[in-house]
Amino acid sequence: MTFTIITLGCKVNIYESEMMRERLEKAGYHYQKENPDITIINTCSVTNMADKKSEKMVRQAKKNNPHTILIVAGCSSENKRIKYQDFDIDILLGNKDKSKIVDLLKKWEQTKQKITQFYSTRELPFENMTIEEFHSHTRAFLKIQDGCNNFCSYCIIPYVRGTARSKDFQETLKEAKKIAQKHKEIVLTGIHTGSYFTTDGHDLTDLIHEMSKIDELKRIRISSIEITELNEKFMTELKQNSKICNHLHIPLQAGSDEILTRMNRKYDLNYFENKIKQIRKIRPQINISTDIIVGHPFETDELFEQTLKIVKKLQFTKIHAFPYSKREGTKSASMEHQIDNFTKKERNQRLIALSNQLERVYASSFNQQIVEVLVEEQKDAYSIGHTSNYLKIKIYESLTINQIYQVKLTNLENDVLIGSTLKTKSNQ
């Protein structure tokens, strides 16, 4: 039988889809995009838009391919259990039991009875799952953590992903060693990656320290980390461990203490600013990107101007800007002083314009420098890859994917840095 997987949302969902693909292929199913016998949709619920997109995919799946066995899982089905039970779905899950995809399919094939499995998300153990390689990306995502206990006022994730929990330390190292056979860079990911902490007392820094002993592994990237998790132990590792990529994605979310408090974020601007200064002392050229929500309830024009000001002051290199999305069931959804969509849109556009400007300034500051590029894609006339500090580089040469090259940067073309490989031994 053939199958396809449609994945929405974050790196954790992408990893879980890879895991489902690997298990199905090992069980003799074949991956095929066109008219598959089985369609799996791994949904997302981070914003209202994500929910709508997930629901649309589910509705279209049977319409486009009436005979397909439809399996739906993920945050949107977890969040909207009742609604999804009305859809024409054969196997309906939330965020648990994705690792049991083959057993569930076998059960359905025997009974042809609809299977629906949901659980309370607050007591979920870490669902063991590992992969050996990553088909969809050259830089492999490695899920090490799930769930979150922070309950930021605007966020639905703790309700759909459950309590914070971590993958076993030795299991993770074993998996990383396997993945490193085929991938030079691993991106550590989770719902709240920085809260990685195992039952035997290992934290994220311990994991990174041990993983960096894997010879084949050249780069360790952290998908996202909260400012409060950049403790002294981590800073020491950042200073000593060159395999840690020169890029940190640290969500700020808002540029005023008033809104940070209403968001139930665990820091104030002063704390955030001092940590950024400390990081830059250790890694002066580091790329620091961030997430910011505009238009959270109570955000006045003045408070938004403060956000623009602090973004400039902290010199982020890229801002993932999101207009506040009212998520039923979260604290912010019932707050007064909700902001109208026009204002949210206008503020979001201004922040994106500023982000593009900062990104351009950061990228051009590396022009004429020699950098190391991990090639990820090969197109007809050129290759594409990223540096450790997450600069996207275009090289008009035919190069080997998953190989790291020394590259001299020569110019910018449509905001993408162009370079050519140095005729050095390491590039042979």
Amino acid at 318: K
Beta bridge partners of 220: 186, 244
Among 19, 105, 129, 155, indicate the residue that binds ligand SF4 (CB under 6 A).
155
Interface with ligand SF4 includes 369 (CB under 6 A)? no
Q: How far is the CB of 247 from ligand SF4 (least distance, A)?
A: 19
CA dihedral sign of residues 195, 333, 291, 232: negative
Tokens standing for 321? 């800007």
Tokens standing for 337? 């002083």
Interface with ligand SF4 includes 358 (CB under 6 A)? no
Residue with tokens 């992969």: 131
Among 50, 69, 142, 152, indicate the residue that binds ligand SF4 (CB under 6 A).
152
Q: How far is the CB of 257 from ligand SF4 (least distance, A)?
A: 17
CA atoms within 13 A on the CB side of 340: 3
Interface with ligand SF4 includes 19 (CB under 6 A)? no
Are 347 and 294 within 8 A, CB to CB?
yes
How far is it, in rounded angstroms, from Cα 229 to Cα 227?
Answer: 5
Those residues whose C-beta lies under 8 Å from the C-beta of residue 179, and which sit 6 or more positions away, are: 131, 132, 133, 134, 140, 142, 186
Among 192, 221, 262, 394, indicate the residue that binds ligand SF4 (CB under 6 A).
192
Interface with ligand SF4 includes 191 (CB under 6 A)? yes
Nearer to ligand SF4, 31 or 151 (CB): 151
Number of residues that bind ligand SF4 (CB under 6 A): 9
Q: How far is the CB of 250 from ligand SF4 (least distance, A)?
A: 12
Nearer to ligand SF4, 152 or 321 (CB): 152
Which residue stretch of 29-37, 115-123, 153-161, 338-346 sits at the interface with ligand SF4 (rule: CB under 6 A)? 153-161
Interface with ligand SF4 includes 157 (CB under 6 A)? yes
Nearer to ligand SF4, 46 or 101 (CB): 46
Largest CA distance in the chain: 64
Among 148, 214, 259, 391, indicate the residue that binds ligand SF4 (CB under 6 A).
148
Interface with ligand SF4 includes 403 (CB under 6 A)? no
User: How, if at all, do strands 30-31 and 2-7 pair?
Assistant: parallel
CA 348 to chain centre: 21
Closest CA to 325 of 152, 89, 88: 152
Neighbours of 272 (CB within 10 A): 22
Those residues whose C-beta lies under 8 Å from the C-beta of residue 392, and which sit 6 or more positions away, are: 384, 385, 386, 416, 417
Q: How far is the CB of 47 from ligand SF4 (least distance, A)?
A: 12
Interface with ligand SF4 includes 158 (CB under 6 A)? yes
Which residue stretch of 150-158, 208-216, 329-337, 366-374 sits at the interface with ligand SF4 (rule: CB under 6 A)? 150-158
Interface with ligand SF4 includes 150 (CB under 6 A)? yes
Interface with ligand SF4 includes 10 (CB under 6 A)? no
Nearer to ligand SF4, 243 or 296 (CB): 296
How far is it, in rounded angstroms, from Cα 247 to Cα 253?
Answer: 18
Q: Which residues bind ligand SF4 (CB under 6 A)?
A: 148, 150-152, 155, 157-158, 191-192
